[in-house]
Structure 1
């Protein structure tokens, strides 16, 4: 691919490592108290969901502490 021989406008921008501007961006607006409260409530809801899923999920995954289930199954099989 051949390079262009005529001067290209703004070629210095493409050749620079990083474009540095002397214009500062506008400051971000501060969050209102209602926005902060909403974000906090959303975060607490997500954390409560994780905690609830662990509380209900861990006993279901535990396979060693169910002696009552084994006796019920053996009694049901003996009765046939």
Structure 2
């Protein structure tokens, strides 16, 4: 066993780096159908929110002249 340079107050702390457990954790329980459906609906709601905000935000991010906005000249400036 190697020795550490700094003092360790308890012996088990010095051996903690080398400890390996032979106990395997129990398997995770499977998700029920309702849990899977709930997670799917939450995911779809989040994705729909992102898509909706992107579609509503795209017109605000456009730069340059718009095709629906036409510049109208006044009759006073045309007559001069």
Matched, 1:3 2:4: no
TM-score, normalised via structure 1 length: 0.65
- 1:59–1:35: structure 2 CA closer, same or farther, 3 Å change rule? same
When you count helix as a share of all residues, which structure comes out higher?
Answer: 1
1:26-77 Cα deviation digits (max 9, x unpaired): 1110000000000001001111111111101011110224254462xx66xx
Within a 5 Å distance, the mapping from 1:1-80 to structure 2 comes to 3=7, 8=10, 11-12=11-12, 14-69=14-69, 71=71
TM-score calculated relative to the size of structure 2: 0.65
> Partner of 1:17: helix, strand, or coil?
helix
Runs of 4+ aligned residues of structure 1 deviating over 6 Å after TM superposition are none
Structure 2 residue runs without a partner (length 5+): 1-5, 75-80
Rounded Cα–Cα distance in structure 2 between residues aligned with 1:18 and 1:42: 43
Q: Give the 3 Å change call, closer, same or farther, for CA 36–57 of structure 1 in structure 2.
A: same
Task: Structure 1: give runs of 5+ residues left out of the alignment.
Answer: none
Count of aligned pairs between the two proteins: 70
Deviation at 1:20, TM superposition (A): 1.3
